[in-house]
Structure 1
């Protein structure tokens, strides 16, 4: 009887996790000083360093090369970790980076059930893209310059736009306004300038797709308060891999 009760409880928690009804939704509890530093850190890393790195790689004529892409995303990740520790001066959990030991059971169930499924679905849907990358780079290059770079790049975007920006905007303006405002910046900001100022003009379909995907990631972060979850899903997105 006790075992049946645990089994039913596990099934209920799994169902609730898939409905995104997590036990600890995003609820920023830090003060104004930390919030101001978080915004400054976002502007410095997410915009200032982002453009500085792009300019530097372009000046060296290596922008777009696989090794340069990996260095680019690793530099942004390192800058986030350094800024959160030395400038924002707040625990990583304030930006959604909670220790695994602090995850709730529903969060763990969601990750262990959804992430493998998403990886399989992405591999099937984008098999042409992934096969082309594998043939172009070989197994080692594919893992290092496509899979790893894509994972880190998705992770960095979620840390900057959800972990920093959405968290602070939620604290200031509430859950709905914070989510929407952060997602507008994510969609129309420096990450997707090619959709706004490309040679063919504004690519509205692409921007709508980005907004929709970002809305899901933002909602997932809002409901869980755990940036690891959207970060891993974002990192698995095959179109991050180039």
Structure 2
């Protein structure tokens, strides 16, 4: 909204034009397909992120375009490479000078698409450490990392350091002891003990993310979730494979510690 007020103040647009643009941006309805929470971050400190899973390409495209026109940025999770290529074509057709005005990035491991107008930049929020028990847990961690970095956090990763080789945790503990990190996201499948163990060794908050990488009895993340919920060392726990939720909770922690929200101009 600040850009509209700036144009009005400098006489680039009339009051009527400013009113029409404000109303257009406030309306979150998308052709009967969705009603978007365009300014969720002003209320909750975290923005609405679009879930691609279960949506048609047409629905994803219309929703993303609404965010780009209203907010200048959008993040889309659980989306495949072929869909991303088709969405890029749609954006180029619908938005004049798209490649010149927007930065589009896709993380195929985390299956996350992010798009932001080049004249916008996120507020620098702080530092998060991401730890996985195994290599199989990395896709969920990458979903979280992509969202954290897109919204202003700096993320450092320590992958494949599970408790079967507990000595591998030493660099993680040393990194936290050196300082600078505000929260740790810990991803584990199978028995899911890593968040509890790490929480007993470091002073910053730990968010446990159970991952569906286990198999057999208690597989699919069920045993990992149960273990984390029964942790005797204090941790927070999100749902199975929910890298998105873990990232949003971490962003809330970072913003609460700073007392600020929102995007800033470069």
TM-score (norm 1): 0.29
Greater share of strand: 2
- Relative contact order (C-alpha < 8 Å, sep 6+): which is higher? 1
Of structures 1 and 2, the larger Rg is shown by 2
